[in-house]
């Protein structure tokens, strides 16, 4: 029986973990692997329990098996559409805060893809449900939508490029994980699922590309960053991960202003 002995040694510098040495023993043979723990690994690890709750949320599960009532999906589409309008503006702020032309161009590209591709899937579904694009756009935000968008826009406007990325990374990354999970679990029944287009688009390599690029940029920006700043970024990441959960809960319960 192989056994994994970890951590063999943890190298710490400037208060955060740089590398973990893991040695795996196979019947006397020792294979040594040194896997560097990146900042995005740390973020993913710290939000793990929240994301697990997102993945098992009844609303997400019901999209996956196609049992979600249409009026609930319509409610989601409207709130998510105005959420995406603000989310797109974070990419515009990314253009403003970028330090070079290549990064500016990439933020502009993701901004355009969000408006032209991602939001078009919402427009197409809405049309099937008899909701016009104008109605989508004119949706009044619920307290949760307002709080979530407001938090991100505030942190992005007043913070650094790294703050901005830490805020939007859970949105791009967790939706991709959800897309993959639902496709993997329900792949064979997708033909009979009216939400298959939603699942296909969020599990697509094109959608996955955005968060991978954001991770690479965040790794560059956080190189040598003091622990105090890393903690602020981690806080943003956890807050927006929790807002993702609240968003699923809000659409599940069709929460709105009480008065």
Ligand X SMILES: Cc1ncc(CO)c(N)n1
Please give the residue ranges that form the binding site for ligand X (CB under 6 A). Answer: 80, 83-84, 118, 171, 175, 244, 247
The active-site residue, picked from 171, 200, 220, 254, is 171
CB-nearer residue toward ligand X: 39 or 87: 87
Sign of CA dihedral 108, 109, 111, 116: positive
| DSSP conformation letters of 65-109 | TT-S-HHHHHHHHHHHHHHHHHHHHHHHHHHHH-SSHHHHHHHHH
Q: Which residues contact 131 (CB under 8 A, 6 or more apart)?
A: 74, 77, 78
How many degrees, rounded to 5, is the angle at CA 237 between CA 232 and CA 239?
90
For the question of residue 167 being annotated catalytic, the response is no
Q: What is the nearest approach in angstroms of ligand X to the Cβ of residue 204?
A: 12
Q: What is the nearest approach in angstroms of ligand X to the Cβ of residue 119?
A: 9
Q: What is the nearest approach in angstroms of ligand X to the Cβ of residue 150?
A: 13
The active-site residue, picked from 113, 118, 177, 244, is 244
For the question of residue 244 being annotated catalytic, the response is yes
Q: What is the nearest approach in angstroms of ligand X to the Cβ of residue 63?
A: 12
CB-nearer residue toward ligand X: 118 or 177: 118
CB-nearer residue toward ligand X: 167 or 217: 167
Rounded CA separation 243/171 (Å): 9
Q: What are phi and psi of 14, to 5 degrees?
A: 50, 30
CB-nearer residue toward ligand X: 103 or 201: 201
Beta strands in 120-188 (DSSP E): none
Which residues are known catalytic residues?
171, 244
């Amino acid at each position: 029986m192989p056994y994994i002995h970890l951590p063999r040694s943890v190298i710490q510098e400037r208060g955060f973990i740089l590398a973990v040495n893991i040695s795996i023993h196979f019947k006397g043979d020792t294979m040594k692997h040194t896997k560097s723990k990146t900042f995005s690994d740390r973020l993913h690890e710290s939000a793990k329990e929240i994301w697990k709750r997102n993945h098992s949320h009844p609303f997400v599960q019901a999209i996956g098996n196609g049992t979600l009532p249409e009026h609930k999906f319509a409610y989601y589409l409207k709130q998510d559409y105005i959420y995406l309008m603000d989310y797109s503006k974070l990419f515009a702020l990314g253009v403003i805060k970028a330090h070079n032309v290549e990064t500016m161009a990439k933020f502009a590209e993701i901004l355009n893809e969000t408006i032209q591709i991602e939001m078009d899937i919402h427009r197409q579904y809405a049309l099937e449900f008899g909701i016009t694009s104008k109605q989508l756009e004119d949706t009044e935000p619920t307290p949760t939508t307002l709080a979530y968008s407001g938090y991100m826009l505030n942190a992005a406007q007043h913070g650094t490029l790294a703050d901005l990325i830490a805020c939007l990374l859970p949105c791009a990354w967790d939706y991709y994980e959800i897309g993959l999970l639902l496709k993997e679990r329900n792949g064979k029944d997708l033909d009979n699922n009216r939400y298959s287009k939603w699942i296909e688009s969020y599990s697509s390599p094109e959608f996955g590309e955005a968060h991978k690029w954001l991770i690479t940029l965040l790794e560059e920006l956080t190189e040598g960053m003091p622990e105090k700043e890393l903690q602020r970024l981690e806080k943003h990441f956890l807050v927006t991960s929790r807002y993702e959960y609240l968003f699923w809960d809000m659409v599940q319960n069709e929460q709105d202003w009480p008065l």
